[in-house]
Amino acid sequence: MNGIVMLLPELFQLLIVIILFLVALGKEKREFSWLPFLTGAGVVVAAVSLFNSGIMFYGTYKIDMLSQFFKLLIAIGFFIVSLLHLKGIDENRHADYLLLISISVLGLMLLSSSVELITIYISLEIASYALYAIVPLRAESKEAAEAGIKYILFSAVMTAVSLYGLSFIYADAHTTMLSQFKNIGWTLSAHPMATFGITLFLIGFLFKLALFPFHFWAPDVYQGMANETAAYATTLPKLGTIVVLIRLLGAVYPSAAIASVLAVFAALSMTFGNITALVQDDVKRVLGYSSVAHAGYMTVALLIQTKEALANVAFYAAAYMFMNLLAFWVICKLSDGKNLSFKDFSGLYKKAPILAFAITIAAMGLIGLPPTGGFIGKFFLLTGAWGKGFDWLIIVAALNTAIAAYYYLKFIRFSYTEESTTEEKVKTSLIDSTVAIILAVIVLAIGIIPSPIYQIALKATGILR
């Protein structure tokens, strides 16, 4: 297939980057009401390219169903993020902000197709460096600068660790191509340097996923960044990380010892994330710790290297993206750029009934209650892993789902049973309400009729077996 056709999603995203770059060069303040039309077209392009396939750039870049599925999710996520009003971002920086976030999206798309370690590393850094720059771009906030510094410093250390591991892999295995990794015995006795190296390389991605004990940065950074930035940072970069972990763990399927360590990390991630979220009041810290718990849920499926288990994690990643973006959509609409606590949701059913309905659906989905996508996603994750040697981990995950209900239900309790100190209505436009309803319907639809997305996820991961 023609290379330009295969690269259509990336090229269209590059076009968006170029347009925003040219706009950012101007000194005048600009309106960006046209951007959602452009990002919406990007979703169409990614959908049309869903069935493309081929190998490019000397085998370092692979276009397949898996990469195209995640590119479509990333394009949809970027479209939703582009609909947000940038209330928390300095007006003079809107052009820079949107340019940087579009570069990060391009990096994530490149990451989805990368099948060679150096290519993966460069793609990850393209996505990450742009994100480092937008974290401090929060209007009138010193916390944002602190969050930006923390994020850069911790990420720099983890990047160094990954690169250090890459050097060990190449020194022992003499290759950085994932396709050749399956021929190598990834055990300490057979290839000690390569096994040590791949462990270090994986740590960099577990850091991006915010899996315990590499999660320490997430709550503080999420709390410090603008609500709009948090909506992006808590969802889309995780998609890029998941697709790399699917490919990487598939190529170097961990030995029993490494799998056991990952299983312990998954259990601790779910438990620590949920228990710590119980005592939080800032809703972004709550969602930050809950993302640590969700990283644990997804790791459960990554340990089971069957195409069904990998399809389960791809499906759950899609459901999580919609649930989390729905929650942040409501947060962004309620907030005037400040951080919210649970009390800010008091009496929401009177002040903005549609937003109250939307946060209810998002909370139900994140808990894993029927009939949402979160319920069916967790059902697939846990039943798919049952009987595969990690039954104790499934029990831990089920118990943690019950714990998570306590703090997620606070969103619903405060919205419907607590009285607000003010009767002032929340100002929402027709577009705000429409998008909230559409996202809520998608979260419900994924739970009621999961087959269309699941079948695509199954085909996407089937090519790996």
pLDDT of residue 256: 64
Output the CA–CA distances (angstroms, integers) from residue 407 to 262, 266, 443, in the order listed.
Answer: 26, 20, 20
Q: Where are the domains of the chain?
A: 3-462
Question: pLDDT tens, position by position, for the chain (465 residues)?
Answer: 567 888 999 999 999 999 999 998 877 777 888 999 999 999 999 999 998 888 988 889 999 999 999 999 999 999 999 999 888 787 788 889 999 999 999 999 999 999 999 999 999 989 988 888 888 887 667 778 888 888 888 888 888 999 999 999 999 888 899 888 877 877 777 888 888 888 888 888 888 888 888 888 888 888 888 899 999 998 998 898 899 888 888 777 756 667 777 888 899 999 999 999 998 989 999 998 999 999 998 888 888 877 888 889 999 999 999 999 999 999 999 988 788 999 999 989 988 999 999 999 999 999 989 899 999 999 998 888 888 778 888 899 989 988 999 999 999 999 998 887 777 788 888 999 999 999 999 999 999 999 999 999 888 887 665
pLDDT of residue 305: 74
The answer to whether the beta carbons of residues 111 and 120 sit under 8 Å apart is yes
Q: Token digits for 280?
A: 């939080």
How buried is 430 (Cβ within 10 angstroms: 0-12 exposed, 13-18 middle, 19+ buried)? Answer: exposed
The answer to whether the beta carbons of residues 345 and 331 sit under 8 Å apart is no
Of 382, 379, 345, 337, the closest CA to residue 362 belongs to 345
The answer to whether the beta carbons of residues 415 and 359 sit under 8 Å apart is yes
pLDDT of residue 383: 87
- My answer on whether omega of the bond before 371 falls inside 30° of 0, hence cis, is yes
Of 283, 318, 244, the closest CA to residue 67 belongs to 244
Q: Token digits for 243?
A: 């697709």
What is the reported pTM? 0.94
Report helix angle 307-334 to 430-448, nearest 10.
160
Of 352, 346, 216, 331, the closest CA to residue 283 belongs to 331
The answer to whether the beta carbons of residues 375 and 249 sit under 8 Å apart is no
Output the CA–CA distances (angstroms, integers) from residue 108 to 48, 65, 239, 253, in the order listed.
Answer: 19, 16, 8, 23
